[in-house]
Structure 1
């Protein structure tokens, strides 16, 4: 009963945050953009800081990335988003290291345990692959890597490189929503579709590959 009570509490908190966002805060990309830019020259710093702490406040990365594109454009927005996303991933990674593997494993469950098994072997390559092809939640990968034996530098480099395509797709799409050019919007949507749909075509093959690596290590 206590176990179910914990899950019900978590579900209630998440639902509450969603309702709060939609009915009170209205944290749309455009509203976030306005708030970030209101601090003037410190806007880039504020944006990176928000992205860095994002894994701990249950805020969707996609919305923040779209806001970054709106606020800073596709190129500068991509660089800032990459900096914040990588910093946030490192923070989650280090938190998992400090919290201890056993405690993190309990929180991640069986899905996290399988991911950890895969990360134990070729950490850099596996993290890079999972960043390029979203088989798992972005933050789940960070926590699972931190609870495994993956070292910080390979994890950080794989994350930084692996998020380049997706980050650019989101920021360019966010930028296009504030554009009056139909051509820009079409290009942004096309790039977004290609970067996210094409990798999904290989999901099954990648899952089989990762499963094979895990089974082969047992």
Structure 2
């Protein structure tokens, strides 16, 4: 294992400034390669360490939010497919920004679907990017920092963690409904 770590360090050092650029590009290519966000962020922690890996993941995920916005607005068929997926997954459910941010932390939740929710909630592109960038901080930090821990957890601890996230999601939904005033 020590030799593997040294090989990775040597590769990163020899790649120089190109390594972070390639890593950010990996975030942009991730959906086409069918890689979950968690896998790429874990790789960032392994390759670059916590601080640099989390920052690079934040930049990569923020750029992916920008790309999502462009895809949805330039390709109506893509938007229609996401809307159908939204109707299937979250049938007759309105999500708050807080709930979308919790869902961003959950592994394997469709990134572009959550971006669509944020687009529909936002009045401007600037507001969308603000919410998007705010929403990718926690996944970038958590998956980079605790990637190994999450991957190494026993199955029952993973289920407990998932149940806690679902509980927080439901609680935020109830709080959101209690704050919404009928017309």
Q: What's the TM-score once normalised by structure 1's chain length?
A: 0.58
Higher relative contact order (CA 8 A, sep 6+): 2
Relative to 1, partners in 2 of residues 1:73 and 1:205: Cα closer, same or farther, differing over 3 Å? same
Cα distance in 2, alignment partners of residues 81 and 60 from structure 1: 13
Q: How does 1:66-145 map to 2 (within 5 A)?
A: 66-100=42-76, 104-109=79-84, 111-112=86-87, 118=94, 126-134=96-104, 137-145=110-118
Alignment of 1:1-218 (within 5 A): 37=12, 39-100=15-76, 104-109=79-84, 111-112=86-87, 118=94, 126-134=96-104, 137-146=110-119, 148=120, 150=122, 151-174=124-147, 177=148, 198-208=164-174, 216=182
Is this contact kept in 2: 1:145–1:155, CA < 8 A? yes
In structure 2, how many angstroms separate the alpha carbons of the residues matched to 1:105 and 1:210? 27
Give the Å deviation of 1:207. 3.5
1:90–1:142 CA contact under 8 A, matched in 2 = no
Do the aligned partners of 1:90 and 1:152 also contact (CA within 8 Å) in 2? no
CA RMSD for the aligned pairs? Answer: 4.1
Deviation of the 1:212 alpha carbon:
7.3
Gaps of 5+ in 2: none
Separation (CA, whole Å) in 2 of partners of 1:197 and 1:52: 30
For this pair of structures, how many residues does the alignment match? 166
Residue 67 of structure 1: CA displacement? Answer: 0.2
Unpaired segments ≥5 residues, structure 1 = 1-29, 120-125, 178-184
Q: Is the 8 A contact 1:55 1:139 kept in 2?
A: no
In the superposition, the TM-score normalised over structure 2's length comes to 0.67
- Tell me: CA distance 1:199–1:117, structure 2 relative to 1, closer, same or farther (3 Å): closer
3-state secondary structure, aligned to 1:55: coil
**1:154 Cα offset (Å):** 1.3
Aligned with 2:45: secondary structure? helix
Distance 2:85 2:179 in 1: 17
Deviations 1:50-84 (A, max 9, x none): 11232344221111110000011111111110000
Deviation, structure 1 residue 155: 1.5
